[in-house]
Amino acid sequence: MAIDVQKLKAANARRWAAAKLTRGPEFGPVARRLVAGKARFQAMEARTGVPWFVIAVIKERESGADPQWLRSIAQGQPWNKVSTIVPKGRGPFKSWEEAAYDALVNCPPYAARNKDWSIGGILTLLEGYNGFGYAQRGLPSPYVWSGTDQYKAGKYVADHVFDPNVVDKQLGCAGLILAMQAIDPTIRFEAPKPTVTPSDAGKAGGGAVVAGTVAAGVQQGWSAWQWGLLAAAVVAVAALGYFAWRWWKRHQAQPEPYHDVLLSADRAKSSGALAALPAPADVWKAPAKPRARRAPAKNGKTKAKRKTTKKRKAA
């Protein structure tokens, strides 16, 4: 069953805004270890566009502590061997970085292709690594929310086998980001990108977009420059709409171009209605050709004079 990704992003954003750690002492050491590897993660961010802290969380969830960086973030298997579990057949690679690049660029859910780095977009991307089975049940994914008050119980213990009483013991992605953010406050998220369906746009117009963006900004706690950027965008869109309207008003009353009149005449002629079509007044007509003058005879006499001479001789 397909899921509504936009609704899931919104749900994850709401959960993030309310989330609190329930296993804080467990998150602290892991968060410090991940932040310590920031430079290495940032080098991978420069190559793929995936934020460094997102790569760090993927590494922790998929390959565990791995202090020697010997396992691939794709599925936790050694990167110097061909993988045997999903994604299968990857490798061998020459380095952790080469394996990580392949995992982020070439393997589902293709993190390097993601364009939404708001907190809702990030958490939904991370949830995709474990699948959307929980979302289909309307439940928060323990892969994301384990260790926070947004998750209580329920876990897939095997493929397509869900046990509502099992509690996931691993640390979830959201809790890891919360703990890392407490250590490194430079971890920030993009503002959410508003999405409006054609029917919504027809009903509410641009006001719905602005209202939705403002609501998201309040929820995310935007800074002053982010609010300023929103205001500038609103002004730019309004100005663009105004000038488009002026252009349309100016051009809608223009007379039909002459070549269109000729086309209309051709159509009317073919349909037998040419007589009813007024001739355009501005049609250019070529001037009449002047009558050619008679060339003089070779002896300098005209034909008329030659005839007179012949009559006299006959007389």
- Pair 87, 176 in one domain: yes
Note whether 55 and 41 are within 8 A (CB): yes
In the chain, the amino acid numbered 58 is I
| Predicted pLDDT at 84 | 97
Torsion, CA 64, CA 68, CA 73, CA 74, rounded to 10: -110
Residues spanned by the domain of 73: 5-183
Q: Which of these three, 229, 249, 269, is where a domain ends?
A: 249
- Pair 156, 239 in one domain: no
20 part of a folded domain = yes
Q: Which helix (H) or strand (E) holds 161?
A: strand 161-163
Q: What is the pLDDT along the chain (315 residues), one digit of tens a residue?
A: 678 999 999 999 999 999 999 999 999 999 999 999 999 999 999 999 999 999 999 999 999 999 999 999 999 999 999 999 999 999 999 999 999 999 999 999 999 999 999 999 999 999 999 999 999 999 999 999 999 999 999 999 998 899 999 999 999 999 999 999 999 999 999 998 766 544 444 444 455 555 555 555 555 556 677 767 778 888 888 888 777 777 766 665 444 443 443 444 444 444 454 444 455 455 455 556 666 566 555 555 555 555 555 555 555
Q: Sign of the C-alpha dihedral, residues 121, 123, 128, 129? A: positive
- For residue 266 the two structure tokens come to 């051709």
- Pair 224, 141 in one domain: no
- Pair 42, 92 in one domain: yes
- Residue 121 φ/ψ, nearest 5 degrees: -65, -40
Q: Sign of the C-alpha dihedral, residues 66, 68, 69, 71? A: negative
Q: Which helix (H) or strand (E) holds 155?
A: strand 155-158
- Pair 119, 239 in one domain: no
299 part of a folded domain = no
- Pair 110, 222 in one domain: no
- Residue 171 φ/ψ, nearest 5 degrees: -85, 130
Note whether 118 and 92 are within 8 A (CB): no
For the chain, what is the domain count?
A: 2
Cβ atoms within 10 Å, residue 76 = 16
- Pair 231, 92 in one domain: no
Note whether 119 and 178 are within 8 A (CB): no
| Predicted pLDDT at 193 | 72
The predicted-structure confidence for 122-145, as pLDDT tens digits, reads as follows 999 999 999 999 999 999 999 999
- Pair 61, 166 in one domain: yes
Q: What angle do CA 275, 280, 286 make, to 5 degrees?
A: 105
Q: Which residue has the tokens 């998150």?
A: 27
Distance from C-alpha of 235 to C-alpha of 63, rounded to nearest angstrom: 47
91 part of a folded domain = yes
242 part of a folded domain = yes
